[in-house]
């Protein structure tokens, strides 16, 4: 395999490698760098694999060989990094930061509030207008709220994770969980119980704002996300079970494409946005 940047476009290639139980470490050595979405998708794939402990061991070994952001992200998800224990500079405006989501308190507590504030501060320093930055923070908070509200992931070691990556005129955030996925979630609702495929469920959630709450058939999260990104250059990717939905700005309009993907539990989503030009994911780690 040639050296490549692992991003959400080619994440399926790594997913196949992970799930085929081949030598993951060797495969990862062919990766020249990771976008935020690619890196988080790799983690989710490893955790969502049946023999995940072995896969995690390989990722751990791989992460240890890289002193960059892959290792940092890995430590965050494991909960051994400084930020995971609240030891972080509250006034910082980092370009890359992660936050793990395992309990309700992770979503509602002060550490996540401060994380959102750092996200806004970093965006403003990266030339994003305040109102747009706050709207993006609101959208990100709604996406992580979905992990707590709908994923039903066990509050164990690996349930939910969010990260952001910000450069001048560019931002990306990604939210992953390894819970029950969109189809299983919507099956609880009488309004959406007719959906039988992951593809239909994912499209209903994203485009029709389908929610699993029985007396509230429509949710606000994806509506908020799209409202915050209206008229912006952005690329969004959603995947759940064996469905993947890509939405991309194409000049004067947005194009959506639904496809299939090697199955994986939970929901993984990524958003990238540029103030100018075509939105392309940028590498966070290029050793």
CA dist., res. 68 & res. 192, Å (int): 43
CA dist., res. 287 & res. 282, Å (int): 14
Residue nearer to other proteins on the CB measure, 48 or 219:
219
DSSP 276: S
Residue nearer to other proteins on the CB measure, 67 or 108:
108
Query: Do 163 and 145 touch, CB atoms closer than 8 A?
Result: no
Beta partners for 259?
Answer: 244
- Exposure letters 57-77 (e unless 16+ CB within 10 A, then b): ebbeebbeebebbbbbbbbbb
Q: How far is the CB of 220 from other proteins (least distance, A)?
A: 4
Q: How far is the CB of 192 from other proteins (least distance, A)?
A: 15
Residue nearer to other proteins on the CB measure, 49 or 107:
107
- Interacting residues toward other proteins by CB under 8 A: 104, 107-108, 110, 113, 116-117, 134, 137-138, 141-142, 144-145, 148-149, 213-216, 219-221, 223-224
- Size of the chain in residues: 287
Residue nearer to other proteins on the CB measure, 219 or 266:
219
Q: How far is the CB of 238 from other proteins (least distance, A)?
A: 18
Q: How far is the CB of 95 from other proteins (least distance, A)?
A: 21
SS3 28: helix
Of 162, 139, 143, 140, the C-alpha closest to 151 is 143
Element (H, E) at 37: helix 36-48
Residue nearer to other proteins on the CB measure, 224 or 233:
224
Residue nearer to other proteins on the CB measure, 61 or 105:
105
Q: How far is the CB of 49 from other proteins (least distance, A)?
A: 28
Q: How far is the CB of 130 from other proteins (least distance, A)?
A: 10
Give the residue ranges of DSSP H helices in 89-235.
Answer: 104-108, 110-125, 130-150, 182-186, 198-207, 221-228
SS3 60: helix
């Amino acid at each position: 395999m040639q050296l490549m940047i692992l991003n959400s476009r080619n994440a399926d290639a790594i997913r196949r490698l992970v799930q085929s139980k081949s030598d993951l470490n060797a495969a990862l050595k062919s990766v020249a760098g990771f976008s935020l979405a690619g890196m988080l998708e790799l983690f989710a794939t490893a955790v969502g694999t049946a023999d995940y402990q072995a896969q995690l061991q390989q990722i751990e070994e791989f992460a240890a060989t890289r002193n960059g952001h892959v290792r940092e992200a890995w430590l965050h998800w494991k909960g051994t990094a400084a930020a995971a224990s609240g030891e972080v500079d509250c006034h910082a405006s980092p370009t890359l930061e992660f936050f793990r989501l395992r309990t309700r308190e992770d979503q509602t507590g002060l550490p996540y509030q401060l994380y959102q504030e750092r996200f806004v501060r970093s965006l403003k320093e990266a030339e994003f207008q305040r109102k747009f930055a706050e709207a993006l923070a609101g959208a990100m908070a709604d996406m992580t709220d979905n992990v707590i509200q709908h994923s039903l992931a066990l509050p164990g070691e690996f349930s939910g994770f969010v990260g952001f990556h910000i450069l001048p005129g560019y931002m990306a955030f990604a939210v992953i969980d390894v819970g029950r996925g969109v189809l299983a979630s919507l099956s609880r609702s009488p309004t959406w119980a007719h959906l039988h495929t992951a593809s239909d469920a994912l499209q209903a959630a994203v485009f029709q704002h389908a929610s699993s709450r029985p007396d509230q058939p429509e949710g606000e999260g994806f509506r908020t996300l799209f409202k915050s990104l209206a008229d912006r250059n952005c690329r969004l990717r959603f995947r759940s079970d064996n469905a993947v939905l890509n939405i991309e700005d194409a000049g004067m309009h947005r194009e959506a494409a639904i496809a299939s993907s090697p199955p994986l539990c939970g929901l993984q989503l990524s958003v990238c946005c540029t103030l100018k030009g075509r939105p392309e994911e940028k590498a966070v780690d290029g050793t």
